[in-house]
Structure 1
Amino acid sequence: MLRKNLLKLSSFTIVLIICCKLQGQNLENYNKIYNKTYLETSQNDFSKALFIADSLFQTSKTPKFQTKSLMLSATLHQQSGNIKKAVDYAQKAEKIAVDSDDFLWQSKIYGFLSSQYRNLGLYIQSKNYIDKSESIIKKLDSKLYADNMMGFIMQEKAYYEIQFKNYKKALSYIQKSQNYFNSAGNKEIFITANNKQLEGLCYLKLRNFTKALNSYKDAETALEDMPDNFLKGLIFNGTAQVYIETKNLNLAKKYLDKAESISDQSNYINLKNEIYTTSQQYYMATQNIKKLTEVTKKHDSTSQKISDSTTSFINTEYVDLKNKLEEKKSLGKNLIIIFFIVLAVIILIIIGIFYRNHKLVLNNLNNDLREVKKNYSELQNNKKTESNLTKSEKDSEGETEQQSIMTEATEQKLLAKLEKFENSVLFTKNTVSLPYLAAYCGTNTKYLSYIINNFKHKDFNNYINELRINYIIEKIKTESKYQKYKISSLAEEAGFSSQSKFTVAFKKITNMSPSHFLQTLKDREI
């Protein structure tokens, strides 16, 4: 009881401090609380950070401060893996920013939403938001603000290319991003460090370990005086990966411990997932099976949470979209009914006028109508006779239609979508799920399962695994550098969440283990 009262007192104290510091909405005081909450409090006490973010919104007196407070909440929820709440808060902020004609914050919000949909694999929605952000930037009066926002746009485009493993193209966007920030005079160390971290990631994936290490070191130096935060965790994790790849396991452990220390205190679910992946690589390299088993369980659990969150969001979006379409359909029907009622009233009025003024014409019209009715009746009798002759055929045809799950046109459309999916690299995302693919194909999971089972002759998991294995086999055969990769790196490249799952799938499809396959290729070359 005492502890609860102390917690309440602490919360009220926070609100009091915020109210005092924000008297008159002083930007400097606001930013101090905002930055401390985002970079420090959220890493150590996530619930407290959410409480402060909500308090900032409650005490904000202007649309600008309200928008910024809502976006702080959106960012915190995004870090915790709650994409639904992150998007909800961002959309609330968007409404305020649009109503107040705040173009700067509109562009920021659209950039944020672009990131969320990109992480979900909904790339069309992601591109729509990034296009909206660029369009809004053109309305900014200040070139400095416009250049600064373009820096973030280029950064988002770099993330997009990294998602598709286009690391060289991503590096060019990172350079453009930094050029825009420099042009805007933005010297915030966090932004510079973020670009350097992304640069290090790209060089790591390109296996240029010297440049990767230099970039990570520059990022680490930039954040040296800042408290521990998620970006530091990503930098330490990347550095550990470089040392694992270069066989310097002592330094790898040193940086992995630093990353794990930050991750243990943080609620940032994607950071935890990245570090668990690196830990697996380290314990595999040191052959510490006990630790490998422990961290694999943690990694699988975290990956499942991310996958569940993604699936839940996509399912919710699909249901909302379906409801909106049904509402529009219902509205359309109502409008048609109203149209015909109005039309009928107009016709009756016209007939009434003609009836009153031209009885003779109306009588002739009635005679014509009776003749038409007679002809129509004869036509219906003829049709009825024809119908009786072919009734058994039509009944049979009706039964066939009822047995069919979907039309042939729908089947062909879905098969075309699957072919497009197979020709992409989207299946290498380890968060791919049946609901995700159904959303990509513009259908539901029942239809998609039917198509995969009947036309691909396998269930969803085996379908995805076969695509991934065939993809990585083709890479190994056509690009010699892949023959030098570790099995764990091949597994990650193919989209598997663990080396063990990759090995099982590989053996099931090829009847040999990945290491045996690689050795067979080497023997052939000799």
Structure 2
Amino acid sequence: MIKTLNTNTILAESYYKLYLDRGIEKENYSIQFFANYYLGNIAYRNKRFDKAIHYGNNAITSAENIRNGNYMLSGLYLVAAAYQEKRDRKNSLHRYLRAQKIIEQYSLENYQIYNLVSIGQIRIRLDQTQKALASFQKALKLLEKSSKNSDANYNTKYLSIIQGLGVCYYKLGNYDEALKYNYQGLQYAEELNRIEYIIDFNLNIGETYIGKKKYSKALSYLNIAKADIIKLNKNNDPDLFTANLHIATCLYNQTEYAKARDLLEQNFQHIKTNPEVEKIQEAYALAIQCGEKLQDTNLQFKYTKVYNKIVDSLYQNDINAQEKLYDRDLESLEEKNKSLLSKNLLYAIGFLLTLVFAAIISFYTIKTKRKNKSLFEELQKGRIHENASKTINVQKNEFITDKKAKSLLERLSNLEKTAFYLSSDCSLYSTAKDIETNTSYLSKIINEYKQQSFNDYINELRIKYCIERLSSNHTFRSYTIKAIAGELGYKSVNTFASAFKKQTGLSHSYFIKKVVSDTHESNKINT
């Protein structure tokens, strides 16, 4: 069947389904594992990722029944990969974290480094940069203990870890450390002639120099990366999209707006065949800014329309995932009862369950809309933030007996009036310096008296400011999401979106639409 799998997946799928039936009939979990695992593989190859997840989960269950750690990991990695393809990174991360427990439980050290690197890569995309950094650092320590000669995958592991460390330090704003690891990785990749890593390291170095605002230097590395991508004839590859985006960013910052626009236009032609590439939001946001600089209102409207559509589709993913989850549960239930119920009775139960699930989805949707509306009204009235602040302040004042802490909290309160938190360089270090204390003590008093981390404290101030500006300032509402995020001090649109959702319970796109809609209605009434 393995040979058939590589030559004729349709025939292989039918064989494995028969094999699965045999495993179920004989209650043989080993057969069930292999049948489900290879059916999941076939589904994954054919980009039927929901099916791959379904079969992968069944494979994991079979592996658990025979307590085989290697089989469990194979199933988990299949499911994690399928969720990655669906851009559902939280579910993918959940599988890798579960795999980590199995690795420890069954002493499967061979998988440890791979698993840590995978966890780090997903955490980067979820903006959990500190945790990602810890994963890569742990992986590097483990790799340094192993023998280079005895591990056939040593070079790949090393390059992946170094690349991950470079990205983490870049995201944390430590550009010098990021460059150190990226140069180290580039040199090693060139020695091995690993072109795919050479491209990645050149792209990362270019992006880091953009962070340092050294655009000419950034362009030299980005152009090398782009030339290598074109040499490999990877015209629709996401790497080409990334290279063009970074080059366009450099051109924009060198006031060559028309060239930047043309390059982004090329990007948008490429992604018609691959709309799921990374940084698509950033590309459209930059295109809108090019339109503004070129005073081309048609271009601005065109790109704003697409940008808003992309943002809305990202927030629709949660509801879609819920619907697909119900579909998978129903399908699983049908399969388990196949041998017990007649076909007519099964259809009747399936129909009833479908109605129940449809009702649940409808209830969930209505409840979500009501909740969003209620949250929006509370935010508009300023109740959520005011009430939260009052509650925290009462608790704080009762416990402030330390004169030094009281003095520092007063200084911090005065500093808030300067809107220091809107600076993109705002950090625990800079804030501690502004109120003449050290980072450890500042972190301690924020944790103790404000009952939150420094990052949550800054996010709360930024989002409160954002809500006030969006509610009262028409010009601010017309900004692109990237521009709003930048005004608030965020270096990433995703970080802003995540912070807004966490602080308010609403997506930023929903809030802005409601403000615009309510303002429009109010103007009509006044007219």
TM-score normalised to structure 1 length: 0.50
Which gives a bigger RCO, structure 1 or 2 (Cα 8 Å, sep 6+)? Answer: 1
TM-score by length of 2: 0.50
Greater Cα radius of gyration, structure 1 or 2: 1
